[in-house]
């Protein structure tokens, strides 16, 4: 089972969602407080399992309603995803992947791991 790891940074608090193997599969923005960070985690837990996948790497892709995972290509040519909440706010982002299949596996891993993931503070 995955876990959310809450970490202090120089400017606030953020979380990483880690898969069972310890790999980071999604990261949050930096929040100003622990409470805000925990709200972000709750939002990921609620939205990830029901979020549609909008693959922006294909021409003429269908625009999905929020919540959704937006799969896109970054400036370096790598595939990434961001999870948006019902209100359209980005609540988690991925690392860059070399292959679209790996990126889509990352999306599935978030959908699977987020709802039941334990929350730990480092």
Domain containing residue 15: CATH number: 2.30.29.80
Quick one: which of 93, 43, 51 has its CA closest to 68? Answer: 51
Residue-wise pLDDT for 74-122, tens only, equals: 999 999 999 999 999 999 999 999 999 999 999 999 999 999 999 999 9
Structural domain count, the chain: 1
Residues 53, 32: Cα–Cα separation, whole Å: 29
Average the pLDDT over 26-39 and give the result.
97
φ, ψ for residue 61, nearest 5 deg:
-60, 150
**Cα(101)–Cα(39) distance, rounded to whole angstroms?**
30
Predicted pLDDT of residue 91? 97
Domain carrying residue 89: 3-121
SS3 for 33?
A: coil
Structure tokens that stand for 18 in this block = 């880690």
In the prediction, which pLDDT does 28 show? 97
């Amino acid at each position: 089972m995955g876990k959310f790891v809450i970490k202090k940074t120089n400017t606030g608090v953020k979380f990483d969602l880690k898969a069972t193997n310890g790999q980071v599969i999604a990261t949050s923005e930096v929040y100003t407080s622990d409470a805000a960070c925990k709200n972000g985690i709750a939002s990921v837990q609620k939205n990830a399992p029901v979020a549609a996948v909008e693959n922006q790497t294909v021409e003429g892709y269908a625009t999905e309603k929020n919540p959704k995972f937006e799969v896109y290509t970054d400036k370096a040519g790598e595939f990434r995803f961001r999870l948006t909440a019902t209100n359209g706010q980005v609540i988690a982002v991925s690392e860059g992947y070399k292959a679209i299949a790996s990126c889509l596996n990352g999306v599935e891993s978030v959908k699977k791991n987020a709802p039941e993931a334990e929350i730990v503070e480092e």
